[in-house]
């Protein structure tokens, strides 16, 4: 996006605080993948508890319901981005070619990767609907989770082997990719090197987006969901667990230790083995912290935070989250289309634009939810 003060933007991207914020932007995504795994396991164990002998079509119905939930809104806005560069009645602005026409050209070539939900994989240079990578990764992890639950249902004694096996795989795969490609353990790219929403950033495409590099988050959620079920039905008392009590003591220090050295990757040439060790710590300790937090919540009485999250206002906003996420990037493109040729960068303006976009996305998501998502689902 062209600005009239690129040197200020570049300087801002190299500040220490910005570096830490940039490298930790993967944490929310890891948390969401953890939540997906937790909910899948909790719902599965609840169904097993109600009806031990699952019907033959149980897993198939889970997949169908998931697709009905995801695809209508996503395909609608994908079609809007592919068929027309600009909506009827809207003029193409000075920045319209950069943010709208180019998107249309990419989508007309690679739309099928979005339809098949594989646009998160690093086998294609250009991405249509860049933010749709998360939906592809989430669906792939969901299918992997269902396959694992089916295996546990069929072969209960193999559960520990499956969990340990996938845990090892989730550590080895990103480590091998980092070593083979010579990538840092955190994203160190400057703003000037990341055109078009980080589409061409190697760390984002090779490490951040692929589902196989996020298996650790999903597996962590599955384990937390299993422990929740056991605690809820008084089948497990973690207070007597040596491993759990020691993890409570070391989880926070290890998490802090994984964050502190981040700036070194911008200022020093860290050895390849140092990068690998930090990557393992950095990518997994946030998952451990989140899972430990969930378990502590399960064991504690419902406080004000949980009451707030379960309130009608929050549950309503939760229903609008998906539509808001799908359309927010397209909304930003139209906002930029109506902007002057050169924008002026400032941290305050970016904050205001971000808050305005979030609010406007929720407003626009209301008719989308009522006319597309809710009637179909």
Residue 120: the pLDDT is: 94
Domain-embedded: residue 327: no
Task: Supply the angle between the helices 347-368 and 312-337 in degrees, to the nearest 10.
Answer: 110
- Position 223 scores a pLDDT of 92
Is residue 324 included in any domain, yes or no? Answer: no
Q: At what angle do helices 312-337 and 58-83 cross, to 10 degrees?
A: 30
User: pLDDT digit string (tens) for 8-25?
Assistant: 777 777 788 877 887 787
pLDDT category, 314, cuts 50, 70, 90? confident
The pLDDT assigned to 194 comes to: 59
pLDDT tens, position by position, 258-272: 888 888 877 788 888
Tell me the sheet residues that pair with 256: none
Mean pLDDT of 38-54: 90
What's the mean pLDDT in 59-80? 93
Q: Scanning the structure block, which residue is given the tokens 């068929």?
A: 83
Q: How far apart are CA 212 and CA 121, in angstroms?
A: 9
Confidence of residue 191 (pLDDT cuts 50, 70, 90): low
In a domain, 331, yes or no: no
pLDDT above 60 (res 311):
yes
On whether residue 21 sits in a domain, the answer given is: yes
- Residues contacting residue 365 through CB under 8 Å, at least 6 positions apart: 320, 323, 324, 327
For residue 108, pLDDT beyond 80: yes
Report residue 311 as tokens.
């309130």
State the pLDDT at residue 360: 92
- Establish if 370 belongs to a structural domain: no
Report if residue 350 sits inside a domain.
no
> What's the longest Cα–Cα distance across the chain?
66
pLDDT > 90 in the chain, percent: 37
Residue 75, pLDDT score: 95
Question: Is pLDDT of 339 > 80?
Answer: no
Task: Please provide the DSSP assignment of 98-132 as one string.
Answer: IIIIHHHHHHHHHHHHHHTT-TTSTT-SS-SSGGG
Q: Is 343 helix (H, G, I), strand (E, B) or coil?
A: strand
CA atoms of 121 and 57, how far apart (whole Å): 29
- In this predicted model, which residue has the larger pLDDT, 183 or 137? 137
**pLDDT of amino acid 22:** 78
Tell me the three state secondary structure of residue 17.
helix
Range of the domain at 65: 6-313
Q: Which residues of 145-156 are buried (b: 16+ CB within 10 A; e: fewer)?
A: bbebbeebeeee
The pair phi, psi for residue 3, each rounded to 5°, is: -130, 155
Domains: count for the chain: 1
pLDDT surpassing 60 at residue 151: yes
Copy the structure tokens of residue 307: 């009451």
Do the domain assignments include residue 229? Answer: yes
| Averaged pLDDT, 269-279 | 87
Does the residue 224 lie in any domain?
Answer: yes
- 86 pLDDT higher than 70: no
Average pLDDT over residues 87-106: 76
pLDDT of residue 303: 79
Contacts of 185 by beta carbon, 8 Å cutoff, 6+ apart: 178, 265, 275, 276, 278, 279, 282, 283
Q: Rounded distance, CA 184 to CA 175, Å?
A: 10
Q: Residue 319 above 60 pLDDT?
A: yes
Residue 274 CB burial class (10 angstroms; 0-12, 13-18, ≥19):
middle
Residue 161: CB atoms within 10 A of its CB come to: 11
């Amino acid at each position: 996006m062209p600005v009239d003060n690129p040197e200020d933007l570049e300087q801002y991207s190299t500040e220490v605080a910005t570096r830490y914020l940039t490298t930790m932007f993967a944490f929310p995504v890891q948390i969401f993948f953890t939540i997906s795994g937790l909910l899948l396991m909790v719902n599965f164990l609840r169904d097993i508890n109600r009806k031990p002998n699952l019907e033959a079509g149980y897993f198939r119905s889970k997949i169908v319901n998931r697709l009905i939930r995801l695809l209508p809104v996503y395909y609608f806005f994908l079609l809007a981005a592919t068929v027309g560069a600009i909506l009827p009645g809207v003029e193409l602005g000075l920045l319209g070619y950069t943010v709208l026409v180019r998107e249309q050209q990419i989508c007309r070539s690679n739309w099928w990767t979005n339809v098949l939900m594989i646009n998160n994989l690093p086998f294609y240079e250009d991405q249509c609907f860049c933010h749709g990578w998360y939906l592809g990764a989430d669906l792939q992890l969901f299918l992997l989770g269902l396959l694992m639950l089916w295996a546990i249902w069929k072969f209960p004694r193999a559960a520990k082997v499956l969990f340990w096996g996938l845990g090892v795989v989730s550590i080895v795969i990103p480590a091998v990719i980092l070593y083979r490609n010579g990538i840092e353990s955190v994203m160190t790219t400057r703003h000037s090197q990341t055109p078009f929403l980080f589409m061409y950033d190697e760390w984002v495409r090779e490490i951040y987006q692929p589902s196989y590099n996020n298996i650790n988050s999903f597996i962590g959620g599955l384990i937390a969901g299993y422990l929740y079920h056991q605690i809820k039905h008084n089948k497990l008392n973690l207070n007597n667990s040596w491993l759990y009590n020691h993890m409570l003591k070391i989880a926070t220090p290890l998490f802090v230790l994984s964050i502190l050295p981040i700036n070194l990757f911008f200022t020093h040439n860290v050895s390849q083995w140092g990068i690998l060790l930090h990557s393992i710590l950095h990518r997994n300790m946030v998952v451990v912290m989140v899972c430990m937090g969930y378990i502590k919540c399960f064991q504690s009485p419902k406080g004000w935070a949980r009451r707030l999250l379960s309130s009608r206002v929050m549950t309503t906003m939760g229903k609008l989250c998906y539509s808001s996420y799908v359309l927010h990037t397209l909304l930003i493109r139209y906002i930029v289309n109506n902007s002057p040729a050169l924008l002026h960068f400032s941290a305050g303006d970016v904050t205001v634009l971000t808050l305005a976009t979030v609010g406007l996305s929720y407003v626009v998501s209301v008719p989308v939810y009522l006319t597309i998502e809710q009637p179909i689902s």
